[in-house]
């Protein structure tokens, strides 16, 4: 019997997500078989727990506004595989993506030698496809978002980053990266290269100390991005609701020999926010982003710093005009995204405690005194208890649902038990599928100023965007009081 040919996309879908043998040897062999396309251009390499995707999008937009042809690699996608690989802000065409994956598949077959455990994994294939696309399009630069961790991430095969960035450090993928912030930070700091400057917004002392230690070992200049001390933009809200005190004492050893980048938010509203950044004798004032939440200002300050250092090290003109234009043009959907007004509907992919805290702070800032109706769905391998508690703690009603990820999505009835155990005692329902949950959430709104907040997973955010933006009709679903 003649075997049925498998399309490149079906092949990609069939690859495993993880390998029992972490490391970069497979990726190096794969790229060698492809002709080492990763050597074609210089990079900005971005890791972190939260904010790395937004920072990648803003950095790429700035460099593109400076006149460079810029590749961008991010994950996961919201709606289509092609979203992960963009050139000059536009996802590559479908046929271009399929052709790149086909080349990667041929290279993978050429180096295959043994059982499935020795084969490449899905993220490695996608990363290789990105390098192929960037080489084919003759990109002047590319901005890479780390998929998981940093040290053994497939993107860490690059040897020629101009700048590395580590955004915030929080509790996610702890079963792989470690339970404490210092261990997680060390894994992410694996992207730091000898002599290459690293920019970080990780302000927790244990995380910053770990990053600074590795940077010092590799003689990499360290730039720390932080807010001005005389403002309180809720950047440091803890997942348990304790706002605490600023956690960046400049006299601590972690700050020794670090350069400081300071940002100050000047205004905010539902259409965007303005801010200033001070670094290395430069002052960028009146910058504007359409992304919402004070955490996005911190991400933007990381992007500004990375772009400035990139321009310096590559001998490019002063990037001030490109910074202003690039930030204004940058978009990153599914993050505190307002998809409907009157009543308000806000979507966010927050799925870990720190991300949930940042989302809650942003919503409370934008809608003073609000108590939203929450549609919540989460994956079972996350810190469900703390993330859910943060979001349900300011909600007046909660509708639980299941993201469309059968192997990882948490059963909403189990999620109901977690939410109840966290102390939430308000209105609670279970509705499946997601469109039924959204329909019920909208029914619970009582007026044009009410807010429906949809959060808990980027997969849920993607479904919600399709339902609310593309006109997918709501459907009835199961209910449980």
User: What is the model's pLDDT at position 4?
Assistant: 56
pLDDT number for residue 171: 78
Q: Which of 289, 253, 292, 250 has the alpha carbon at shortest distance from 270?
A: 292
> Quick one: pLDDT at residue 118?
60
Residue 59 · residue 307 · CB < 8 Å: yes
**Two tokens, residue 333:** 């959907």
Joined together, the tokens standing for residue 195 give: 């002599």
Q: What is the pLDDT of residue 256?
A: 55
Q: How far apart are CA 138 and CA 205, in angstroms?
A: 41
The pLDDT, as a whole number, for residue 36 is: 98
Residue 477's φ and ψ, nearest 5 degrees, are -155, 180
How confident is the model at residue 476, as a pLDDT? 47
Q: Given a cut of 50, is residue 234 above it in pLDDT?
A: no
The pLDDT, as a whole number, for residue 238 is 41
pLDDT digits (tens, 9 = 90+) for 194-206: 999 999 999 888 9
Q: Please give the Cα distance from 481 to 102 (Å, whole number).
A: 49
pLDDT digits (tens, 9 = 90+) for 278-294: 998 899 999 999 999 99
What's the whole-number mean pLDDT along residues 228-237? 45
> What is the predicted pLDDT for the residue at 253?
52
pLDDT tens by residue, 254-266: 445 678 999 999 9
pLDDT value at position 173? 63
């Amino acid at each position: 019997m003649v075997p049925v040919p498998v399309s490149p996309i079906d092949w990609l879908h069939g690859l495993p997500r993880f390998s029992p043998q972490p490391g970069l040897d497979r990726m190096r062999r794969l790229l060698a078989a492809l002709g080492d396309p990763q050597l074609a251009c210089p990079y900005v390499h971005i890791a972190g727990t939260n904010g790395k995707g937004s920072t990648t999008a803003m950095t790429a937009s700035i460099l593109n506004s400076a006149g460079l042809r810029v590749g961008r690699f991010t994950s996961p996608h919201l709606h289509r595989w092609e979203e992960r690989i963009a050139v000059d802000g536009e996802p590559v065409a479908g046929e271009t993506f399929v052709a790149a994956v086909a080349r990667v598949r041929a290279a993978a077959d050429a180096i295959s030698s043994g059982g499935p455990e020795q084969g490449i994994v899905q993220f490695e294939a996608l990363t290789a496809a990105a390098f192929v696309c960037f080489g084919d399009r003759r990109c002047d630069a590319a901005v890479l978002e780390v998929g998981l961790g940093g040290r053994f991430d497939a993107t860490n095969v690059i040897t020629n980053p101009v700048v590395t960035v580590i955004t915030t450090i929080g509790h996610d993928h702890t079963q792989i990266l470690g339970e404490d912030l210092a261990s997680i930070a060390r894994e992410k700091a694996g992207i730091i290269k000898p002599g290459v400057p690293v920019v970080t917004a990780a302000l927790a002392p244990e995380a910053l100390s770990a990053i600074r230690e590795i940077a010092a070992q590799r003689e990499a200049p360290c730039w720390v991005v932080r807010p001005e001390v005389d403002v309180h933009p809720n950047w440091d809200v803890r997942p348990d609701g304790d706002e605490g005190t600023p956690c960046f004492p400049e006299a601590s050893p972690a700050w020794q020999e670090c350069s400081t980048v300071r940002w100050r938010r000047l205004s905010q509203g539902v259409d965007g926010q303005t801010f200033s950044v001070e670094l290395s004798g430069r002052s960028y004032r009146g910058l504007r982003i359409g992304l919402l939440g004070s955490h996005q200002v911190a991400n933007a300050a990381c992007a500004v710093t990375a772009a400035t250092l990139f321009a310096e090290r590559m001998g490019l003109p002063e990037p001030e005009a490109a910074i202003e234009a690039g930030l204004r043009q940058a978009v990153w959907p599914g993050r505190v995204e307002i998809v409907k007004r009157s009543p308000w509907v806000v979507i966010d992919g927050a799925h870990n405690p720190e991300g949930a805290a940042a989302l809650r702070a942003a919503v409370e800032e934008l809608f003073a005194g609000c108590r939203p109706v929450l549609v919540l769905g989460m994956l079972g391998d996350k810190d469900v208890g703390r993330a859910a508690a943060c979001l349900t703690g300011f909600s007046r009603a909660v509708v639980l649902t299941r993201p469309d990820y059968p192997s990882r999505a948490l059963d909403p009835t189990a999620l109901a038990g977690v939410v109840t155990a966290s102390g939430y005692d308000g209105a609670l329902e279970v509705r499946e599928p997601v469109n039924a949950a959204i329909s019920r959430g909208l029914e619970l709104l009582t007026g044009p100023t009410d807010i429906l907040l949809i959060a808990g997973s980027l997969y849920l955010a993607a479904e919600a965007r399709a339902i609310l933006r593309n006109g997918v009709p709501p459907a009835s679903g199961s209910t449980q009081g």
